Amino acid sequence: MYFENTNLENLTADQELIVSIMKKHGLECDGGWDYERMTFDKRFDTREGRYYLRVFAYAISGDVGAHDAILTLMKPALGKYYYPHGVEYGDDEVYPAHLVTKCEEILKKVKLELDQFSIEPTNKNNFEPVNAR
């Protein structure tokens, strides 16, 4: 399940700022990175199963491994974990309403904190910040 209208998609910021804000809200990147991408996860163990809130990001410049990247956020997702296959995001999955609500609250808090730094969405065509200051 992908979260719509979070206003996180296409926000661009320094890697260390994004990592700091995500970690503050329980979203960690424990090994979910390569030199061009990062995945921030928050695990939820409920009676209905194990779920992951995920926020994906990719580097538009710099190197994630060197901690000097500029990252652009992608659409957040909620997926259900199935052993041993992994996480499924399909529309046919059932997501508990209480969990969806909790995830929406977390994403709103992340967005509010990013707003404090005047983070602007990027123009996907040329990776230039829109309304650059």
Q: Is residue 130 part of a domain?
A: no
Closest to 1 (Cα-Cα) out of 94, 131, 118: 94
Q: Is residue 133 part of a domain?
A: no
Q: Is residue 132 part of a domain?
A: no
The range of the structural domain enclosing residue 82 comes to 9-114
**Mean per-residue pLDDT over the chain, rounded:** 87
Q: Is residue 52 part of a domain?
A: yes
Number of domains in the chain: 1
* CA separation for the pair 108, 113 (Å, rounded): 9
Q: Give residue 133's pLDDT band: very low, low, confident or very high (50, 70, 90).
A: very low
- Domain containing 35 — which CATH number? 3.30.310.100
What is the b/e burial string over 30-42, where b = at least 16 CB atoms within 10 angstroms of the residue's CB? Answer: eeebeeebbbbbb
Q: Is residue 121 part of a domain?
A: no
Please compute the mean of the pLDDT values over residues 101-109 and round it to a whole number.
97
pLDDT for 116 equals: 85
Strongest mean pLDDT among 34-38, 39-43, 124-128: 39-43
Q: Is residue 120 part of a domain?
A: no
